[in-house]
A and B are shown apart, each in its own frame.
Chain A
Amino acid sequence: MLDRKKIIETLAERLKIDVTTAESEYQAMLDQLRDELKTNGISGLSGLGDFVIFEGKIAFVPDAHLLRSINFRYHGFEEWEVATIKAPMLQEEDPYFDNESEPAVYVVEDQVQDVEQTGIADPKEELVPQEVQVEEPVDSNNKTKPIKIRVNKKYMERGLGLKRVFASFLILATLLAGSSIAWYNDWLAGYGIPSFFDVFPDYATKGDPQSITLNTPSIQVPTPKVPMDENPVDTSFAMTPIEEAPNSESLDPSSPSISSGLVGTFDDLRRPYYTIISGTFFSEEGATKALNMAQHAGLRSRMRTISISGDRAWEIHIGQFNTREEALESNKTLPGSFQSNIVRGYGQQ
């Protein structure tokens, strides 16, 4: 026990002063504390705590540092919360309960302050009610019976719910994507436009990167009667010829005039001209099919190889015109699948 005598002796020894001086200093400190307590109602020592007058008696409010010091054996005691049990569930019948499985045992050891899990070899056992054995962390003389608590870890496992939510989200996203594609195809069919995969059924499975301009509804334009191939690519793009077209004079494919626009020959390729870039493809096969369709529709078209960011690509050019305005005007008369606002000039100075 640390009393006045021992305090004075230790104080004299540590500060290397005589006992009388130490006693006077100690007494002066006590007097100062007492005076402050009477005057202010509170007095304290830094690192120890505060003395306060409460209901006519002296009360002591310990310093947090002092409490941590005397609890040095139990630092990190937050980790001692080894079991959180929802008591009403202990008596409920659990469909996941397996009587045949051996319960795992949790052992909390003294001083180590750590929870050791033993007997859990299979993660599937997380759904099985576990048995928790908690030992009293006191000295060896005090023999306390361990507390056995049954814990249903199914309710302690929260990751399971997140997995279910994620799986549901994936299924919902898949259904929405499928319905959107079906709606878009129906919308195209409502305007008489076949869907992309109807036009190019081979690409539905090949997955080659490609692009084609498919936009506004189709407009009938005057087209020459071109003999059908034995195996036409797609009859859905067959054009209905108009008997009296404004540019009927250019329906003759042999016409060398560049002003023929959409139809004609390429004899005058050396001359500057404008053309409509109907589509760009990253596969030659797709571009060839589009070219065949355009030619089958009676349009003067050609395929040109270009380079996009170092990758090879193929463009479908339709018609050749003297001016850009003429090309843009003729673009409006193209079938919707071939229309494009991209006009490029070749051979200009």
Chain B
Amino acid sequence: MREQVAKEIVAMITEELMKRGEVHLESFGRFKVVHQKQRLSETKQGAITMLPPQDNLDFEPES
């Protein structure tokens, strides 16, 4: 039962984050998805590479 509960909670959190929503987990913090645009990055050798856009997970711990 406990494992099934944990599995369902993880599934709920993942679905909410895929919908770009926020998740508040008590006594732990808040999860939210932040979008990062594509950007140019230059290496030490002088090569400029176009980095792809991506969505990152941001976590704000509760104080």
Contact = CB atoms under 8 A, between A and B. Distances in A.
Given A2-B22, A136-B37, A85 B47 contact: yes
Interface residues of A, number: 53
A34 B27 contact: yes
A81 B9 contact: no
A208 B62 CA distance: 93
A80 B38 contact: yes
A274 B60 CA distance: 105
Task: Give the size range of B's interface with the partner.
Answer: 35 or more
Task: Classify the interface of chain B: helix, strand, loop or mixed.
Answer: mixed
Contacts of B47: 84-87
B12 A15 contact: no
Interface in B31-63: 31, 33, 35, 37-38, 40, 42, 46-57, 59, 61-62
B10 to A, nearest CB: 5
A2 B38 CA distance: 28
B48 A57 contact: no
Contact of B24 (A4, A77, A87): A4
Contact of A85 (B18, B24, B48, B52): B48
A85 B61 CA distance: 40
Contacts of A26: 5, 9
The 8 closest A-B pairs by CB, nearest first: A80-B52, A60-B59, A77-B52, A58-B61, A2-B16, A25-B5, A2-B23, A1-B22
Given A58-B28, A80-B53, A147-B40, 7 more contacts: A47-B10, A67-B56, A67-B57, A70-B55, A81-B49, A81-B50, A134-B50
